[in-house]
Each structure stands twice: as structure tokens, then as C-alpha cells.
A and B are shown apart, each in its own frame.
Chain A
Amino acid sequence: MLISEVRYGKATLPEGCRSAGRQAGPPFSVPLQKIYEKMQENTGDAFGDVFCSCMKEAMETMPLTKQDREIFLRFAAKNSFAEEAMQVKWMEQSRDMLDRTILLLEEKMEDKCRIAVGLGAMSGLLLIIILL
């Protein structure tokens, strides 16, 4: 959503956060809106710092590893680009990294599930043998 705001609306990153926050459901709607509000206050903090602090707060309740969080916050850590296409590309790269991590986690989860099912069947079998 944020990428679309930048690409089509040429929105600034804080504006993009506001629009994305309006459309996104929990748990992201509140922190995204908060980022916009904080940037509007213009306390002088950089967007990257505000984004990180608000999102870190929101991610505390999520089952994410440190590495996952870093990937998620990666795009905001860099200064913005002079060209919109470059900015979009950078954001897409971050999104792709996140996608890859999700894919990897899903694959790992599938493997784990398979192992769990196999172990369950084997232990069931073992139990039957013992009972007999």
C-alpha cells in the first residue's frame, strides 16, 4: 500500500503512512497513523527514527525474530531518493526480502509439520506395539 501511494500519488513517506494506515487493518493501522502524526508534529526527528520506534513498539507483540524485524525496518533506515522510481525500487526490494523470509518460514513450517505428523504416527505405532 505504501509503495502504491508513492508510485501513483507521489506521496511523501509520512503521507503514505497515513493513507496506508487508513486502509490497513490491525496491527499496522495504529502505528502507521502514529508515524504520520509524529512527523506532522515536526519534532525534528528523522522519518527513519520515527518509523522504527513506532513499528518496534507494534512488533513487540508479534512472533518475529530480530532478523525479521530488521528486514521490515530496512527501507526506512536509508535516506530517500531523488527519483520516485528509485524510491519505489528500494521499497520493493525490501518487500521482496520480506516475501522471501515469509516463504522460507512457510517452507520451514511445512517441514516442521511433516516431521511432527511423522513423529506422531511413529509414536502412536510405538504405543500400540507396547500395549500389545
Chain B
Amino acid sequence: MEQRLLQLFPVERRSFWKQTARVQEKVEEIRLRTGQPVLVKRQGQEWYLDDNGTFTDRPERAYRVKAGELEELLQHICHYSLYAFADEVRQGFLTVAGGHRVGIAGQVVLDGDGSVRTIKNVHYMNIRVAHQVKGAADRILPYLYKGEDLKNTLIISPPGCGKTTLLRDLVRQISEGSGGHAGKCVGLVDERSEIAGSYLGQPQNDVGSRTDVLDACPKALGMMMLLRSMAPEVVAVDELGGEDDMKALRMAASCGCRILATIHGEDIRDVSEKLQSGNLLREGLFELFLVLSREGGKPVVKQIYGKEEAYAQMAGRDHDPVGKSGAGTLVSGTVSGQTKAASEIVRHPGDAHQ
């Protein structure tokens, strides 16, 4: 594992990164900016690295990224074949061996139609270190099942609360079979290569033996492709957004697939508009809603809502706009008759990619 992080760097820089690689499990991200100090986020705290690569909290001792260093790093990450990663560069990120994600920024070159042709003069990099937290979904999983069947589930979370980590582990456990339930075929559309962390099409994270991954594919298109080609029992997607995603979800559900999805949002009311746009609200597609949050720096499942409670909350918004009702109405929810009060917050150990 340590080797995987080190392998990101060319040979001349490996001794510098050795200490960081040793504590890789605790490292969340590495930020590199030309002329600026190297910043490493470790267990929620920012550290500098000195000239020897040792952690320090003193900025005056920090090593500053030299001109041309990031260009060289990008060449190395792209196997000295930048052209082969043109699509990834255009998107602004690359997934590398080990499932780590490298975000890049610099000077954007546009095509005539306004689309991004490439990013040149790369002076900023953000390496997000992949951590698979197996067991992150252990306590959540029983809520997802009704008998042998799965409930269509939506995970609602603001950034940094571990929704991708939770989704990844749910996919793995559903695929493998867990808690006495048989494994199911899962079709995973991994548009940003964050869940499976595929590198050259091969998942770097364990997403289960019955999971088929469509990597770097737009969600709506990917869901339709999977439905046609792989006949999944469960379709999993991260970060629902546009109307096309919602339409594809409805299509998947009407084909008898179970849905496992995540969406950006602070709470259940926050996402009601997005769900409204695809008529998902009226049709009541989702049966279970998990709301994630952070408490004491740790990601937690703040609320678990069943279908009726969730849709009642959302419908309430239409008559009672945000700002009048306030968040006080969301202190509890019920799942199959079990009330989950705020004091019964379910912790999950996921704490990595978002």
C-alpha cells in the first residue's frame, strides 16, 4: 500500500515522500502548488513537509514546490504518455493505481465551441489518497433490506461526510452478500472513478465479486448501458445531479432494478427540488433515506427516514418554505416503526473520499 503512493512520484522525489507514504493510512490529501509549500492533510489536520519530507507545522521550514516539478509529476503519472490521458486531463482529474485521485489545475485551453481542449501549464495538484473502509456500512445495511429484497435507497450528504465511502461499502456488501442475505448483481456507474477507483478499467477498491463497473461514464448513459448489457439487480450511482440522471433512475426502477444512490445535500428538504425535477418525489421511488453529517470531526448517519416520513418532510417544504420551518423539524425520523432520534445517531467509520 505504501508502495502505491510512492509509485506516484518519479524516482528523484521518492525519498522525499517516503515518510508520508509510511503514514498513508492517515493521509487524506496532498496539495501541491508551484512555488508554495507542500501541504498534507492528515487526520483532519494540515501539515507542511520540510526539505527532507518530515512533517512540520512551521511554514518557514516547509519545502516549496519547484517550477517544473508538477509537469514532471504529471508526465510520470501519465506513464510519460500525456496524450493517452487527454480525456482525463480535460476533466481535470486522473485516477491512478491504488485508486488515488489526482486533481489538476492550470491554464485551460478552450475549443471553438467553448469546451475544454486541455489544461496546460499545470501548477496545482491535489492528490486525494484512497482509503477503503471495509465495514463502513455494517450498521446501516440491515435497514436496507426488506426480507431478501432491497429498498431503493438515497444517501444524502454534504461534502466530506463519507457518502462515497459508505456507498462503496454498501455496494461491496450487497454484491458479496452479507448478514445472511444472498449476494446480488450490482451495476455500478462510476462517473468520476471514485467508488471503484478504476485504473485502466480495473477496480482498485473491492466493490464485490458480483459488481460490474462502468468507469468514467456519464451516469444517465451508464445506467441505460448497464440495463441493456449486464442485467443488474441493483444499480448504484454516486452524486445524482441533472434531470437526465433522474430519468435514467426511473427507467432502471421500472425495469425492476433496485436503486442505490447518493446526492449532495444538507438534509432531506435540501434535495426535494432535485427529486421533484425528475418526478421522483411524486412517484415515491425511494423507500429509504440516509442523511449523513459530521460530529466531532467524524462522519455519522444523522437521520434515517422511511418512505412516508421522508416524503411528508419534502412535501411540507412546498407549503412551508425553508427559513420559516427551520431545521428543528428534522430531529427525528422513523424506519419501519423504529424511531431514530438524534441521540441515537448511527456512526459509520467512513472518512475518506467524497
Contact = CB atoms under 8 A, between A and B. Distances in A.
Interface residues of A, number: 23
Interface stretch (A61-69, A75-83, A101-109): A75-83
Given A82-B89, A82-B118, A46 B75 contact: yes
A14 B81 CA distance: 8
Nearest to B118: A82
A83 B97 CA distance: 23
Contact of B80 (A6, A11, A43, A47): A47
Interface string A40-56: 00111111100000000
Interface string B65-92: 0000001000110111111101001000
B75 A80 contact: yes
A79 B75 contact: yes
A73 interface: no
Contacts of B13: 44
A87 interface: yes
B78 A46 contact: no
B79 A82 contact: no
Contact of B84 (A11, A39, A42): A11
A82 B86 contact: yes
Interface in A1-30: 6, 10-15
A10 B84 contact: yes
Interface string A84-106: 10110000000000000000000
B124 interface: no
Given A82-B83, A82-B118, A83-B86, A44 B78 contact: no
Nearest to A83: B83
Interface stretch (B4-12, B168-176, B302-310): B4-12
B61 interface: no
Interface in B1-42: 7, 9-14
Contacts of A80: 75, 78, 80-83
A2 to B, nearest CB: 11
Nearest to A44: B11
Chain B interface residue number, banded: 20 to 34
Given A12-B78, A12-B79, A82-B120, A46 B86 contact: no
Contact of B7 (A6, A42, A86): A42
B contacts with A: majority SS:
helix
A48 B80 contact: yes
Nearest to B13: A44
A91 B78 CA distance: 18
A47 B79 contact: yes
Contacts of A87: 81, 83
A105 to B, nearest CB: 30
A102 to B, nearest CB: 27
Given A82-B120, A83-B86, A44 B79 contact: no
Contacts of B10: 44-46
A119 to B, nearest CB: 50
Nearest to B84: A12
Nearest to B7: A42
Given A42-B7, A44-B9, A84-B86, A13 B76 contact: no
Contact of A6 (B71, B79, B83): B83
Contacts of B82: 79-82
Contact of B81 (A13, A42, A86): A13
A14 B118 contact: no
Nearest to A9: B84
Given A46-B75, A46-B76, A10 B11 contact: no
17 contacts: A6-B83, A10-B83, A12-B78, A15-B84, A39-B79, A42-B7, A44-B7, A44-B13, A44-B14, A44-B76, A45-B10, A46-B75, A80-B80, A80-B81, A82-B82, A82-B89, A83-B118
Interface of A: 6, 10-15, 39, 42-48, 79-84, 86-87
Given A6-B84, A82-B83, A87-B81, 15 more contacts: A10-B84, A12-B79, A12-B80, A12-B81, A14-B79, A14-B80, A15-B81, A15-B84, A42-B97, A44-B10, A44-B76, A47-B80, A79-B80, A81-B83, A84-B83
